[in-house]
Amino acid sequence: MACDNKALLFGNKVVVTLLFLLCLVHSSESFRPLFACDPANGLTRTLRFCRVNVPIHVRVQDMIGRLTLQEKIRLLVNNAAAVPRLGIGGYEWWSEALHGVSDVGPGAKFGGAFPGATSFPQVITTAASFNESLWEEIGRVVSDEARAMYNGGVAGLTYWSPNVNILRDPRWGRGQETPGEDPVVAGKYAASYVRGLQGNGAGNRLKVAACCKHYTAYDLDNWNGVDRFHFNAKVTKQDLEDTYNVPFKSCVYEGKVASVMCSYNQVNGKPTCADENLLKNTIRGDWRLNGYIVSDCDSVDVFFNQQHYTSTPEEAAAASIKAGLDLDCGPFLAIFTEGAVKKGLLTENDINLALANTITVQMRLGMFDGNLGPYANLGPRDVCTPAHKHLALEAAHQGIVLLKNSGRSLPLSPRRHRTVAVIGPNSDVTETMIGNYAGKACAYTTPLQGISRYARTLHQAGCTGVACAGSQGFGAAEAAAREADATVLVMGLDQSIEAETRDRTGLLLPGYQQDLVTRVAQASRGPVILVLMSGGPIDVSFAKNDPRVAAIIWAGYPGQAGGAAIANIIFGVANPGGKLPMTWYPQDYVAKVPMTIMAMRASGNYPGRTYRFYKGPVVFPFGFGLSYTTFTHSLAQTPLSQLSVSSHNLNSAIFNSSSNSIKVSHAKCHTFPKMPLHVEVSNTGDFDGTHTVFVFAEPPENGVKGLGVNKQLIAFEKVHVTAGAKRTVQVEVDACKHLGVVDEYGKRRIPMGEHKLHIGDLKHTILVQPQL
């Protein structure tokens, strides 16, 4: 559309302006360079790799066959160079979309027709919804906005999200980016979000290409003098198989993700980005990744220059590519790969194999098809839409967790609580609510603004910033609390306390925050509600045990609409249904557990990690969360109570009495009946509400040696039940998938004996025995 020429036909300045705006909104693609195989691009339109009716693998090989060695090498890095003689433009692979399109990576830029994008709650908050359909829908919206920005020439199509590492240690600064501590939850989140981002996979095509990161056993950034660039994670085969690798396997198997990112750290003495067993053998071999493997940024440089894993840079380049790395985020491979070929450390075919994986993903994205396909018409009008903003609000509603509600102090009543004191360093924040790896939000509603929609507010920060280094503002905060009908304290953390490269040293509220809460609670003449913003858990035992603190809400980092969601919950417009995706430990836990110890299981004085293995006291347990209504469970039908397990070779599969189990690989899993659990959920209170049905499995005590499992989550279902009604939820228990455990050699086994299923306060026992 030649907008300028059409505008010249009109003399009216208003019409000219309107036409210009129409061009800006509806023809954003005109501002981007020609697509590599655009019909208007005379250089490429006759080449075989541009023919959309030719199979992708043939197109890929045709393109690779036309490249020189030097051209190939410049395609091995994130800022891939243009190949002008073939009409191929440069491409920036690095874009981020952790919880909305982000400008953290160089691949996406905001401004002009795209001033911002919908910023959903941080992942740890969304994970607390335990709602797989919500996770997928968020991915779908994010990819709509990403495609729109790509069409406008301001973003790419390869997004290095989600982060599916396990929140092993409560101090980890990047725990906020993850779905929490449970590997099953992290795996389901990964698959759901990836499906939303990538589309339905029809015809092996991709909407955008997601990337699960950081593989593997990566969950330490900078603690006590140890940083992620030098850390060697010593991990047992058992922990690798049943904890650290679970989300990545799910991401590849169930999510069909187009990429996996290897991490900075070493695992058992070898950099993950140079570990053939982890990359080529596991991700691409065992799990059959249909996509590419990328390094975390400068990881190859890190294992050469900081970990000193190889003697020369050429050896480092060769080690990474031979291990299965396809793309380097950073310039290292562009600089040293040719030298590796000349020294005989690599062959050109090794490079061809890496390029085949990356270019295939670009072909699946339609990047060599011209501006065609089902997403070609997406543009600025498809970003920050009312529906997208509403989904951000709904996601916050579903993720916020009610931790305490003494005497049903919540919800507040706008009639009785006409004046509310809103106090605390996080009470009127904007960017804090979106956490890290965020973009530019469409708009913000702060907690103060949200509460102001329901009541007259008296606002005092109390102290400057979450560091809360002094008590100068305490007096004004106490005075506000004395005047108000209710007091809301919005406290917690932000990126100055927990972030990438910044792990916490403890679990308490920073600075004088605890003193501020206590003094305001003493002064307040109405109920006191403590709202916490944070990614990681906080030891707020003082508030939990203080009768003057009537309610505690964990909001995580609730996204652009976080303040509205907090206010809606406080005033009962929304009923909280979130559950904690991580254990909240007491402060003294961290004194016993160095971040550098990767072991999950308790041993000696080491207390273990996460609800699966830790047996000590907690502030709030994994899966905890209250509601304004009450729910009960019952089993609608009597489930199976006995299961006979058959094996291909019973004698070799069954070990002695100390390990009475069958290897899953030996079991005839396809012959086992599925065991349906019909759980009836009754809402016995006065509010409509959503409830999460958790099903945990507890293995036999005399089972596999070194197991050490308290219980493990095998399934969860989110259900909405109106007040006074009942809903039945069905969960199918699969013996091989759900009752299996991992032995000390990293092998999955089904222990014989009594397996206990926990559904809320219900217990059901299944006797598993060998079929003789």
Q: Are 409 and 529 in contact (CB under 8 A)?
A: yes
With residues binned 3-state (H G I as helix, E B as strand, rest as coil), the percentages for the chain, rounded to 5, are 35, 20, 45
Is 539 part of the annotated catalytic residue set? no
Q: Are 655 and 750 in contact (CB under 8 A)?
A: no
Q: Are 420 and 488 in contact (CB under 8 A)?
A: yes
For every residue of 379-416, DSSP letters joined together read -GGGSS-HHHHHHHHHHHHHH-EEEEEGGG-PSP-TTT
β-strand partners of 441: 117
Query: 3-state SS string over 51-96?
Result: CCCCCHHHHHHHHHHCCCHHHHHCCCECEECCEHHHCECCEECCEE
Contacts of 155 (CB under 8 A, 6+ apart): 95, 101, 107, 108, 109, 146, 149
Query: 3-state SS string over 326-358?
Result: CEECCCHHHHHHHHHHHCCCCCHHHHHHHHHHH
- How far CA 49 is from CA of 73, 368, 416, 490, in Å, comes to 19, 8, 70, 57
Cα gap 191→292, rounded to integer Å: 17
Q: Which of 103, 219, 242, 296 is catalytic?
A: 296
Burial-class residue 433 by CB neighbours within 10 Å (0-12, 13-18, 19+). buried
Cα gap 85→71, rounded to integer Å: 11
Other Cβ atoms less than 10 A from the Cβ of 161: the count is: 28
Residue 476, CA atoms < 13 Å, CB-side half-sphere: 12
Q: Are 158 and 261 in contact (CB under 8 A)?
A: no
Beta strands in 483-623 (DSSP E): 486-492, 528-533, 551-554
Q: Are 125 and 175 in contact (CB under 8 A)?
A: no
3-state secondary structure at position 441: strand
Other Cβ atoms less than 10 A from the Cβ of 407: the count is: 9
Q: Are 759 and 668 in contact (CB under 8 A)?
A: no
Would you put residue 310 in left (φ > 0), alpha (ψ -120 to 50) or beta?
beta
Q: Are 300 and 320 in contact (CB under 8 A)?
A: yes
Contacts of 632 (CB under 8 A, 6+ apart): 681, 682, 684, 760
Cα gap 401→415, rounded to integer Å: 25
Which residue's entry shows tokens 């959503």?
A: 690
Which residue's entry shows tokens 């905890």?
A: 624
Instruction: Give which of 665, 715, 658 is closest to 692, Cα–Cα.
Output: 715
CA dihedral for 368, 369, 374, 379, sign (positive or negative): positive
Torsions phi, psi of 735, nearest 5?
A: -60, -45
Burial-class residue 202 by CB neighbours within 10 Å (0-12, 13-18, 19+). exposed
Torsions phi, psi of 463, nearest 5?
A: -155, 165
Torsions phi, psi of 707, nearest 5?
A: -70, -55
Strand 212-215 to strand 266-267: parallel, antiparallel, or no bridges (unpaired)?
Answer: unpaired
Q: Which residues are catalytic?
A: 296
